Structure 1
């Protein structure tokens, strides 16, 4: 009763209802909210703090910036969703706010795509060296557990492609990356796809800002070769993986294309599948035999590892051998 009353009291103010409506549609900074609502930053900051203290909004820190979004977890989350559903769709103030938000999102998307175009040539060059990405994604999907995933984590999310691919399988999904530019692209693309159950955060894969056993499924897609100490990334992933959970590793097999180190910041020239499996075992996980995807100059390895050996694996997960 106290939590409900606190949440209702926090929301019972016109500006705070407008903030809830906006943050239900996009992750927004205080600066962006100032532009959208035309109110001072100190005033909006006070409103945001009240809503966060009542559990109606989440605050996501990203370096020097903080993004606000409608609460996804906790006792305030269902109340926040009910309040949003109760807002009148024909209210002129909310409609005007929404129109300004649409313009802001278009500006965000254009800015993100401009950055991506600047680096797209190098990405396309790397893609041309290995098997088509659609084949990699198909192999990955075959290894994803068939049961519904409650909490998904994508390590080194980049443009958020894995979040988009796996969003239908998860109730909540989080992507982490150190690059604010890549997170901007991911955020814009998730917004465009309407995937409000997906969120991105700036974080180091080696020091994840999550409690132990927080996720059911963790994906690390083409990110290990950037890491200084890949075994530490696997161990950190295992730390936040729940019992019965699954870790999927997708990366290059060993190769000699040192141009990727010189020009594309790759720290490692691929990994032996046996090394990936050993790091998983050292972290307390139980790896399945890896799949290898050969096509082009680079071979891609896809490996699934589970928290418990007694899980009932699907036949596809046991038998997948692509490229052999």
Structure 2
């Protein structure tokens, strides 16, 4: 790992001034555990909302933390790239974990997370029937996840982006292979479910953002893996979503799409809001190629009894063309029934 870049005298003074106050230092320590919103911090620190907001504003202006809007809420996390970000992470890492005040803060953080998980579970129970009905229509999730693992097992990623993250399951599968992971979903309730699931899995550092898949709230040319898992069939214009996902890819980055093969189950439009009845190989590869990607592998997971109105799940792994050479071989194109 390269040595941290030197920090100027003025930048270090800004960092120390911002961090050098008890409440702000406690906030920084809490944010090493993951993203938190103003309400979380007022509950944990037992301070008023205006006071907490003022501390957060000062830390944000100093570049030590970042603010991410999610509907009417805003979540805060430690900054990744500012001049003082490395210095403040080192500073916080030197705090005594046995400190009485910091221990109490962590205990209240766990209580807040338990309450958040309970609320998320209540929301998920409202839509669980839909998820169960869909799972019964295609090959087991274990088989799909196994195929995803095979497609990506040999790879490491600097940054992963999961679009339509839902429960956060794809992030749980892939986060261990990535230095950084971000999930985007338009539904605030599902983000709450994802956040609770990720915290339960010990992945509280994964970032979640609310946003439109057609206008992503992320950096361009920044991710070396983008995942779109069981999302495109809900969209009127899947090709547009693929183009937007491609814009987020770094040169040579990979796009993994998991969705249904073309089928004729019309009731999915009426009962489950599907806009598209799956996709043919020609449709999907055409969209990928038009977006500037080369399809490097394709796999079909066919249910054991396709005659019983069950669906085939297709996996496509495509790669951005903006690279000449790479030492990591891609898997050959294949199809498995």
Asked if Structure 1 and Structure 2 have the same fold, meaning a TM-score greater than 0.5 normalized by the shorter chain, the answer is: yes
User: For the residues of structure 1 that align with 2:170 and 2:217, how far apart are their CA atoms?
Assistant: 20
Partners of 1:119 and 1:315 in 2: CA distance: 40
- 1:224 Cα shift? 0.6
Report the counterpart of residue 20 of structure 1 in structure 2.
Answer: 28
In the alignment, structure 1 residue 317 sits paired with structure 2 residue 331: yes
Aligned twin of 1:238: 246
**CA shift for structure 1 position 257:** 1.6
Indicate the residue corresponding to 1:91 in structure 2.
99
Q: Distance in 2 between matches of 1:255 and 1:321?
A: 18
Which residue is 2:4 aligned to? none
Q: CA deviation at 1:77?
A: 2.6
Residues 101-250 of structure 1 aligned to structure 2 (within 5 Å)? 101-144=109-152, 146-250=154-258
Instruction: Give the match's secondary structure for 2:208.
Output: strand
Maintained 8 Å contact 1:150/1:172: yes
Say whether the 8 Å CA contact 1:154–1:220 is kept in structure 2. Answer: yes
Instruction: Within 5 Å, give how 1:27-42 maps onto structure 2.
Output: 27-42=35-50
1:130-159 superposed Cα distances (whole Å, 9 cap, x missing partner): 111111112122222734200100010000
Cα distance per residue 1:47-79 (max 9 Å; x no partner): 111111222211111011101122233333322
Number of the residue aligned with 2:302: 294
Superposition deviation, residue 314 in structure 1: 6.8
Deviating more after overlay: 46-55 vs 149-158: 46-55
Task: Say whether the 8 Å CA contact 1:150–1:170 is kept in structure 2.
Answer: yes
- Does residue 67 of structure 2 align to residue 59 of structure 1? yes
Number of the residue aligned with 2:3: none
* Shift in Å, 1:94: 1.3
1: CA distance, partners of 2:190 / 2:61: 30
> Structure 1: how far apart are the matches of 2:230 and 2:86?
36
Name the residue aligned to 1:79.
87
Q: Indicate conservation of the 8 Å contact 1:293/1:300, yes or no.
A: yes
Distance 1:80 1:260 in 2: 51
Distance 2:20 2:328 in 1: 50
Give the aligned partner of residue 55 of structure 2.
47
Structure 1: gaps (5+ residues):
none
Equivalent in the alignment of 1:280 = 288
State the SS of the aligned residue for 1:130.
coil
Show CA shifts across 1:20-42 (max 9, x none). Answer: 11222132111221121121211
Q: More displaced, 102-111 or 68-77? A: 68-77
Return 190-199 or 270-279, whichever deviates more. 190-199
Show CA shifts across 1:110-144 (max 9, x none).
11112112211221111111111111112122222
SS in 1 for 2:139: coil
2: CA distance, partners of 1:281 / 1:319: 15
Structure 1 residue 45: Cα displacement? 1.0
1-structure distance, mates of 2:119, 2:145: 27
Offset at residue 289 of structure 1 (A): 4.5
Give the one of 283, 306, 319 matched to 1:306: 319
Q: Distance in 1 between matches of 2:108 and 2:98?
A: 16
Extract unaligned runs of 5+ from structure 2.
Answer: 1-7
Task: Determine if contact 2:163/2:213 at 8 Å carries over to the other structure.
Answer: yes
